[in-house]
Amino acid sequence: MRTHLLPLLLYLLLGLPVNAAELKIELGDHTRIWSTAELLGLPQAQLIEIPADVGYRRPMRYRAVPLRTLLPGVGADQHVQAVAMDGFVAELPAAPLLQEEGSVAWLAIEEPGTPWPGLAAGKAGAGPFYLVWENPAASAIGPEQWPFQLAALRTTASVSQRFPALVPAADAPDDVQQGFVQFQKHCLACHRLNGEGASEFGPDLNIPYSPTEYLAGDFLLQYIRDPQNLRRWPQARMPGFDSATLGDLQLHQLLTYLRHMAGRKQGTSASP
């Protein structure tokens, strides 16, 4: 017990802010707001090593708690949203978040006295809270499933239930259905489609036009693989998706889904 009180005592002695940040966790009708000090004081808090951190692109060490300990009562068949301060919203199936083996999800907590470095030159760090993974390859965890600068976690209905305008036709080929899965995993954290989605980060991918309608040939494929190779500007925020992150088959499925949805525009802004 004394070891877990040590960080709190240090902050008090050094005059550092104890409640440096807050994380809201909404589980159905129950909402709890956790402060930095409360999370660091949990008995499950420990130092972890992340050999290939997605945000920092190098090994990192964090004080963290297993995310499952913050999701009591959540079932493996449920869905979780991770909301970042900049409008990025990761849509996450609950099952991987609850695992104790294989890919294990951790909430990394930035200690007020030792802030994390910037993610790049002139940029803020990943704090105050960051969802990181041990052994991400075991469950094919993608980079969009590492949300940083977290503000809230909440359980929600599935993407298909909340956003029916994203759902392909029931009789669409399997490539389209699998492309919808890839869209949820890799695109929905930043983009809306047909005006639906929770993110406020990137542009809509169907209204007024789908990128499949204005990027001819293999230019859209090139753009997804390496955005700066097609459109280069310093403020660009979209990362490239290499074949290790998004395989050729999965990229083909994603593009097939986007082409399919170009013929299923919905909403008041469906026409330019």
pLDDT in tens, 10-19: 334 434 444 4
Query: For residue 51, which amino acid is it?
Result: P
Q: Which domains does the chain have, with CATH numbers?
A: 2-156 (3.90.420.10), 160-262 (2.60.40.420)
- Mean pLDDT value across the chain: 87
pTM of the model: 0.76
For residues 64 and 104, give the distance between their C-alpha atoms in angstroms, rounded to a whole number.
12
Tokens 């919808």, residue located: 180
pLDDT in tens, 227-269: 877 776 666 678 788 888 888 999 999 999 999 999 999 865 5
pLDDT in tens, 139-197: 989 888 999 999 999 999 988 988 999 999 999 999 999 999 999 888 988 899 999 98
For residues 49 and 243, give the distance between their C-alpha atoms in angstroms, rounded to a whole number.
25
Spell out the residues 6+ positions from residue 115 whose beta carbon is closer than 8 angstroms to its own: 125, 127
For residues 38 and 25, give the distance between their C-alpha atoms in angstroms, rounded to a whole number.
13
At 98, list the tokens: 């609850």
Q: Which candidate, 74, 65, 10, places its Cα nearest to that of 39?
A: 65
Angle at 34 between CA 89 and CA 152, to 5 degrees: 10
